[in-house]
Amino acid sequence: MSVRGNPKKLDVLIVNDDEDAPSLLNPLTGQMLITNQVGKRIVELADGTRDLEAIARQIVEEFRGAQEPDVLQHLEIFLAEGARKGVVTWTGPG
C-alpha cells in the first residue's frame, strides 16, 4: 500500500469524452490533462477506494496486451502528472 494512500479523481472534474483524446479539466483552476482511453479509465477507477495495484489489475483485465508491471510503472507516472494538473489527489496514508 502506498504511503500516499489511494488515488482519487477530483469531485468536480469535467471529462470530455473525445474518442481519440479525452481531456480532463479541473474547473477550479482551468488546468487540463489530455490523455487517451486508458488514462480516462484510470481516472474513472481512481475513486479513493482502490490502490494502485487494484487499478493496475483492472486495466490489465480491460485492455488487451497490458502487462501489470508495465501498467504499474505507467500508472505512477500518469497519476503524478494528474496530481500536478489538479485532476487527481490522494486519500492520505492508507
Total number of domains in the chain: 1
Give per-residue pLDDT as tens, 34-60: 999 999 999 999 999 999 999 999 999
DSSP conformation class of 89 = E
For 12, other C-beta atoms within 10 Å of its C-beta total 9
Domain assignment of residue 17, yes or no: yes
C-alpha cell at 55: 487499478
Domain assignment of residue 30, yes or no: yes
For 30, other C-beta atoms within 10 Å of its C-beta total 8
pLDDT bracket for residue 66 (50, 70, 90): confident
The structure's pTM equals: 0.88
Q: How many CA atoms lie within 13 A of 25 on its CB side?
A: 10
pLDDT bracket for residue 1 (50, 70, 90): very low
Inter-residue contact 66 to 5 (CB < 8 Å): no
Could you tell me which residue, 92 or 43, shows the higher pLDDT? 43
Domain assignment of residue 59, yes or no: yes
Q: Is the pLDDT of residue 19 over 50?
A: yes
Tell me which residue range forms the domain holding 65: 10-87
Domain assignment of residue 2, yes or no: no
